[in-house]
Amino acid sequence: MTRQPQSPSWRAWLTTDTPQSRAQARLGRAWAGWCAFRRNRMAMIGLLIVLALVVVAALAPLLAPHHPYDQDLANRLQPPTAGHWLGTDGFGRDILSRLIHGARLTLMIVALVALTAPVIGLVIGTVAGYRGGWVDAALMRVTDIFLAFPKLILALAFVAALGPGIENAVIAIAITSWPPYARLARAETLTIRHADFISAARLQGASGPRIVLGHIMPLCVASLVVRTTLDMAGVILTAAGLGFLGLGAQPPLPEWGAMIAAGRQNVLEQWWVAAMPGLAIFVVSLGFNLLGDGLRDVLDPKGD
């Protein structure tokens, strides 16, 4: 790496209209995107919420005032007090500590789904779009079948078959959420497969897999990232829904949806037990929605 000049000229280096290297051009593009993104106040709030989720998850044992599994039956269903900021649940466990540790589960679910479903969709969509013909027809038919199912119901059926648990919930969500990515990647592929630079690569003797991997997939990434961020709110809600129905994370894991289910019996008297985890789900999924909206404005200005 070349040494960057001292500030404030690094800004000039980034914003120059005559970049000297590919890296400089890329960083300059990223910088321009960041500048546009930064002006969007809502998107910045979203980014802060998502970053806060990551920090809380990383530092959970340090931040939590109590152990998430420590029961104290003498102090069960206590309203919020100085000792327990968000009150205690039916086993006298500190709700705040459980929420903080639950951030790890939420982040894990989001990360696993975000790393699997878009990748599956990317591969299927680009291959279908590039190959065309019967490969395209067959792959898109499969995609349509999965799209024809309501997501939550299909996830329910999968979890019913695989057995409840957080891993199976992740698998079920990933299986049900790849089709829109495949559609998107295919549409992007169709618009670029006849471009001159693809023909040039082919004439130079590049193989099909090489063109798909090296030339088509990178161009699909931007729109897939936006779509993934926007979908993460839905993933969080589906995972919480599965947890609420008792099909996701099993007790005593502090999964937010399962915590709402546990507080359901007492919701009319001890409302905080169910209200607090729901608030956490709401804030985090709002964060992803705001972030996704902002990213869409920066990366994909066509879509209103």
Partner 1 sequence: MTGSSPRALTRAAGLIASVAATLFGLILVTFLIGRVVPIDPVLAIVGDRATADTYARIRSELGLDLPLWRQFLRYLVAVLQGDLGTSILTSRPVLDDVLRVFPATLELATVAVVIGAALGIPAGVLAATHRGGWLDHIIRLLGLIGHSAPIFWLGLMGLLLFYAKLDWVPGPGRVDVFYEGLVDPRTGVATIDALLAGETDVFWSALHHLVLPASILGLYSVAYIARMTRSFMLDQLRQEYITTARVKGLSEVRVVWRHALGNIAVPLITVIALSYATLLEGSVLTETVFAWPGLGLYITNSLLSADMNAVLGGTLVVGVVFIGLNLLSDLLYRLLDPRAR
Report the alpha-carbon distance of residue 164 to residue 167 in Å, rounded: 8
Closest separation in Å from C-beta 56 to partner 1? 18
Residue 268 near partner 1 by CB under 8 A: yes
Of 65-73, 116-124, 128-136, 159-167, which segment contacts partner 1 by CB under 8 A?
159-167
Of 70-78, 123-131, 203-211, 239-247, which segment contacts partner 1 by CB under 8 A?
239-247
Report the alpha-carbon distance of residue 230 to residue 227 in Å, rounded: 5
User: Which of 228, 257, 225, 232 lies closest to 159 in space, CA to CA?
Assistant: 257
Report the alpha-carbon distance of residue 274 to residue 279 in Å, rounded: 9
Report the alpha-carbon distance of residue 102 to residue 28 in Å, rounded: 38
Distances (CA, A) of 120 to 117, 124, 125, 217: 5, 6, 8, 12
Of 1-9, 104-112, 181-189, 241-249, which segment contacts partner 1 by CB under 8 A?
241-249
Task: State which of positions 31-50 bind partner 1 (CB under 8 A).
Answer: 42
Residue of the chain from 78, 189, 229, 285 that contacts partner 1 (CB under 8 A) = 285
User: Which of 108, 97, 98 lies closest to 54 in space, CA to CA?
Assistant: 108
Using CA of residue 48, residue 53, residue 59, residue 62, what is the dihedral sign?
A: positive
# chain residues binding partner 1, by CB under 8 A: 46
Task: Provide CB contacts within 8 A for 242, sequence distance 6+.
Answer: 155, 156, 159, 169, 172, 173, 248, 257
Comparison of 19 and 278: residue with beta carbon closer to partner 1: 278
Closest separation in Å from C-beta 293 to partner 1? 7
Comparison of 59 and 145: residue with beta carbon closer to partner 1: 145
Residue 142 near partner 1 by CB under 8 A: yes
Comparison of 78 and 285: residue with beta carbon closer to partner 1: 285
Binding site for partner 1 (CB under 8 A): 42, 141-142, 144-146, 148-154, 156-158, 160-163, 233, 237, 240-241, 244-247, 257, 260, 264, 267-268, 271, 274-275, 277-278, 281-282, 285-286, 289-290, 293, 304
